[in-house]
Structure 1
Amino acid sequence: MSYSLFPTLLAVLSVWLVLRLRKVGSRERDLPPGPPTLPLLGNLLEFPTSKIYIQFSKWAKSYGDIFSLKIGPTTVVVLSDPKIIRECLDVHGATTSSRPFFYVNELISNNCEIGFMEYGPTWRNLRRAAHDVLSAEACVKYIPIQRAEAFRLMYDLLERPQQFTTHIYRYAASVIFSVIYGIHCPEFENTFIREFYDVTAEFDKVLKPGFAPPVEWFPILRHIPERWAPWKRICKAIRTQQRKLFFTLLDLCEENMKNGTRNGCFMESVIDRQAEYSFDRELLGYFGAGILEGGTDTTSVYLQSFVGCVVANPAIQARAQAEIDHVIGSKRCPEPDDFEHLPYLQALVKEVHRYCPVTPLAVPHATIADERIGNYVIPKGSTIFMNTWAINRHEDYYDNPHIFDPERYMQSEFGTKPDVDTSAFRNDMIFGAGRRICPGKHLASTSITLNAMNLLWAFNFLPAKDLHTGEQKKIDLNDAEDFDCEIVPRSAEKADMIRAQFVVAKSTFELFDRRVPVTAS
């Protein structure tokens, strides 16, 4: 080849590269609409780093119930309509059920956790195992430990009401520890619970936008040496901390099985069928941990929101208590079957889900192939967000959606306006959609209904008073995880029944208490 051709080839290559780079960050023609983009960056600079669902909801009002963002060369699609969600995530679940690649998760767990794992044969095996031990039928056998822990929660609130947040955290975690590993944690401190929440808090930090560079969108950044990337060192430390806890729990479960001290917990069944599920030890350890993480947060955050909502709405609290008193009376504690006879309490539980969704954006999906939704094409490798917050506050669906009002669910199953087409609405939308819907939804729902009945049957929840002015503190229901309140037993008789039931519950705990030391050390 003549050297005289090199300048021409270099010029052609330069033009091609410029044209190629000009397309990076720009919205393809068949994508849903969205905010204007910048060359190379797309919408990166305006992508929110906190309460993402609020900005997404604002964009939905401007660009529609399906809109797109460009983050460098990658695509984000946000869905804010039940029909679109059903078509995209349910009907087309074969291509929209993966998870976005998350580099920090790879550094920490090597993508072994079921919640973040990409769609494929390994995930399907994990999902089948989760369904086998968390189906509605399988969860019936876990009700005794859930009831015993619910009585323990009432007892703790009776004895130390000022620590109600800690008691809720302990309850939610101890139920899941008991169900999964057969381990009861009677206290928050000096148990696996404290170590679990410490690990989870560190992991949550690295999941937040802005912790690390946008490696997923600009893969070249993953090659930054660790000495110049403190976030990589943090991920390595979290990995060590996680593995110590997760595999200690697995070791204890296996040891108890060998010693003949089974108690029917979740992981015993999975270990028995390890070969059937094609699990190696790595998958076993992360499988139990993934269910543990998903189940604990959902219940604890919901119960805090529930308490916040009844504190902020005393008339609603009084109406629910009147219904409970009429059905249950004052001579006995609530039973699981009582919930179906409490329509207003059912409406209250649904309204808390609507007003304070535990996961406003759910966990994002990802496409493994191009998918057409209506007039739009969602490209392979796109990230899909399901904006339940926007749906729950949609003025086309709900009357006065920004007002907390359980009465809406007394008028219709989904709380919507009379003329709304609810064919695509689902009561379990709070747990996600498609093939990625939360496998622990039955367990979580039982915990929620048991405690909703118990807490309002047993206690009055009152606003806390300012120590200086004596005035009642107001609660922001948009941030119902951080508030103070006063918790007072509704009668001396109910307080006595709580203490008596807690004594009875100890017999259930014995099956779990005798298996391991109470500390994680």
Structure 2
Amino acid sequence: MSTNISTGVALAFLAWIIIRLTKAGTRQSGLPPGPPTLPLLGNLHVFPKTRAYLKFTEWAKVYGELYSLKAGPANVVILSSPRMVRECIDVKGAATASRPLLHVSELVSNNLEFSLIQYGPTWRSMRRAAHDILSQQACMRHLPIQHAEASQLTFDFLESPELFYTHIYRYTASVIVSVVYGIHCPRYHDSLVDELRQITREFQQLITPGGTPPIDIVPILKHLPERVAPWKARCRHLRARQLKLLLSLLDTCENRRKTDKRNGCFMEYILDNQDRYNLDREQTAAFGGSVIEAGIDTTAMFLQFFVACMIAYPEVQARARKDIDDVIGLNRTPQQDDIENLPYLRALINEIHRFCPIAPMGIPHASTADERIGDYMIPKGTTIVINIWGLYRNEEYFEDPDVFNPERYLQSPYGMKPGVNLTGLRSDYMFGGGRRICPGMHLAFNSITLNTMNLLWAFEFNTAKDPNTGRPIPVDPHHVTDNLLLSPEPFQCNIVPRSDKKAEMIRNQFANAKATFDLFCA
């Protein structure tokens, strides 16, 4: 009898496990609709391995602006319209402001990467610091070094235009390190720039889907020994390099404070107000590193897309340049406040953001409470993805979304077509939303506007010609790298100064920037 009871219990337990596993990949009642699921896998069998934003946009046309996927037992919700971002991220920010836990981020940054950290006391302390140092008013104090760095970028384009890719990266690295830690990086192959570039790229590779096994979906993989999990060694080595670099940058800033050689950088302010932020030394270093990492690639990629779009759409380039000439004239260089009188250039910048979104799926959010969106329930613990690519190509909101047309932003402040209810909508979805909207957006805006004005004022951007056939080499802004962030694949172009007088003004402006650069020596 006891044997029969034991067998029955074992069979019942086995049946319970089978039922649980079968339901693990099943879409629960109340979730938004989505592609058909398989037991246990959910939608993992159809998850795109590359350029997921394209598949997510395709699914949005079938399942709507709000739909769900199952990653095994985990819930993923995809938002593909401005309205859904407003309702789920902006309005319900208190419940959707966290991030999914990334084991790689735990290993590399001790879970202190500001953009990836979960909602909680440490994030709130970092957010308070970010708000203080990255507000629109605070960023105005750093315009002198941004102007100086922009003058070097224009000078570098003049002297060696064929190296424009590396000039852009040097600029973005130097301006963010100058603003955050007070250190100017005059060369692309500066040791600091090289190390920042390598660390940033390796971290992006690790957190890009496919960079490691699916450790966040199959948590048992976290416990594999390093000898059979080489990604663990990569994370350990990267953590050591990153922490060493960030602590050395903090040391440099602290030494400058002690010797009364301040230059007004962000970290001087953070160190002066440590009681306000309650961040220990590692947290302070990680915060500074997060601001740097967030600011280098994104601005560089925008400026690369800007050059690509100017070549691909010469009529747009011509109109933007005419507006700049009308406002700035021939006898001075652009200044930051000129952007207020250049509506077409502002429209052009917005259209590049829309047409070439650098982070096409943003950074996922995570819900910390059950929330209802219309007829659907978003359970606690759901990963929420803002499909920025799909949002900006949603035909309900944007007319001819696959056409590059800056004028859409002259006709509507958000670039949306007539008849769209604009209540609660905005134009800056590329910076995320809710409580996790990018705090560096004002600093990025200043860099982008300064350099787009400078480059259009100074140069003509033309197609390069094949040396064998003499035919123009076309540039396609959508010929992009397949990484976590999108950038145009390297392309050739012909960059020439618009006049000898402008070339002379560029050289003079760069020479005059030396006094500013002298304040930002390591």
Tell whether the structures are fold-level matches, with TM greater than 0.5: yes
The answer to whether the 8 Å contact 1:408/1:416 transfers is yes
Q: What is the correspondence of 1:382-401 to structure 2 with a 5 Å cutoff?
A: 382-401=382-401
Q: What is the correspondence of 1:475-514 to structure 2 with a 5 Å cutoff?
A: 475-478=475-478, 479=480, 480-513=488-521
TM-score (norm 2): 0.97
The answer to whether the 8 Å contact 2:460/2:496 transfers is yes
Aligned equivalents of 2:428, 2:348: Cα separation in 1: 16
The aligned amino acid for 2:19 is: L
Q: Show the counterpart of 1:140.
A: 140
Question: CA shift at 1:498, angstroms?
Answer: 0.3
1:256-282 deviation digits (Å, cap 9, x = unpaired): 112221111100111111122111111
Aligned equivalents of 2:422, 2:471: Cα separation in 1: 43
The aligned amino acid for 1:366 is: A
The answer to whether the 8 Å contact 1:308/1:481 transfers is no
Q: What is the correspondence of 1:269-418 to structure 2 with a 5 Å cutoff?
A: 269-418=269-418
The answer to whether the 8 Å contact 1:82/1:424 transfers is no
The answer to whether the 8 Å contact 1:49/1:208 transfers is no
The answer to whether the 8 Å contact 2:53/2:387 transfers is yes
Q: Using a 3 Å threshold, how does the CA distance of structure 1 residues 482 and 425 change in structure 2: closer, same or farther?
A: farther
Q: What is the correspondence of 1:76-475 to structure 2 with a 5 Å cutoff?
A: 76-475=76-475
Aligned equivalents of 2:475, 2:85: Cα separation in 1: 32
The aligned amino acid for 1:227 is: R
Aligned equivalents of 1:15, 1:8: Cα separation in 2: 10
Please give the secondary structure, in 2, of the residue aligned with 1:93: coil
Aligned equivalents of 1:175, 1:190: Cα separation in 2: 13
Question: CA shift at 1:3, angstroms?
Answer: 4.9
Aligned equivalents of 1:69, 1:88: Cα separation in 2: 16
Q: Using a 3 Å threshold, how does the CA distance of structure 1 residues 271 and 104 change in structure 2: closer, same or farther?
A: same
1:173-202 deviation digits (Å, cap 9, x = unpaired): 111000100000011113311110011111
Question: CA shift at 1:425, angstroms?
Answer: 2.2
Aligned equivalents of 1:229, 1:324: Cα separation in 2: 55
The aligned amino acid for 2:8 is: T
The answer to whether the 8 Å contact 2:415/2:427 transfers is no
Aligned equivalents of 2:211, 2:449: Cα separation in 1: 36
Q: Show the counterpart of 1:519.
A: none
The aligned amino acid for 2:168 is: I
* % identity of equivalent residues: 54
Please give the secondary structure, in 1, of the residue aligned with 2:428: helix
The aligned amino acid for 1:378 is: I
Q: Show the counterpart of 2:485.
A: none
1:417-468 deviation digits (Å, cap 9, x = unpaired): 1111222321222211000000100000011111111100000011121222
Please give the secondary structure, in 2, of the residue aligned with 1:462: strand
Question: CA shift at 1:4, angstroms?
Answer: 4.4
1:292-330 deviation digits (Å, cap 9, x = unpaired): 011112211111111110111111111111111111111
The aligned amino acid for 2:27 is: R
Please give the secondary structure, in 1, of the residue aligned with 2:422: coil
Please give the secondary structure, in 1, of the residue aligned with 2:75: strand
- Unaligned 5+ segments in structure 2 are 481-487
Aligned equivalents of 1:4, 1:414: Cα separation in 2: 70
Question: CA shift at 1:79, angstroms?
Answer: 0.1
1:367-423 deviation digits (Å, cap 9, x = unpaired): 112111111111111111111111211222222111111121221212221111222
Q: Show the counterpart of 2:484.
A: none
Aligned equivalents of 1:202, 1:230: Cα separation in 2: 14
The aligned amino acid for 1:295 is: G
Please give the secondary structure, in 2, of the residue aligned with 1:321: helix
Aligned equivalents of 1:161, 1:428: Cα separation in 2: 31
The answer to whether the 8 Å contact 1:117/1:123 transfers is yes
The aligned amino acid for 2:370 is: D
Question: CA shift at 1:131, angstroms?
Answer: 0.4
Aligned equivalents of 1:171, 1:4: Cα separation in 2: 76
Aligned equivalents of 1:79, 1:288: Cα separation in 2: 31
Aligned equivalents of 2:513, 2:178: Cα separation in 1: 14
Aligned equivalents of 2:350, 2:201: Cα separation in 1: 28
Count of aligned positions: 514
The answer to whether the 8 Å contact 1:78/1:386 transfers is yes
The answer to whether the 8 Å contact 2:81/2:394 transfers is no
Please give the secondary structure, in 1, of the residue aligned with 2:496: strand
Aligned equivalents of 1:2, 1:276: Cα separation in 2: 67
Aligned equivalents of 2:502, 2:50: Cα separation in 1: 42
The answer to whether the 8 Å contact 2:320/2:456 transfers is yes
The aligned amino acid for 1:346 is: R
Aligned equivalents of 1:406, 1:358: Cα separation in 2: 17
- Unaligned 5+ segments in structure 1 are 517-521
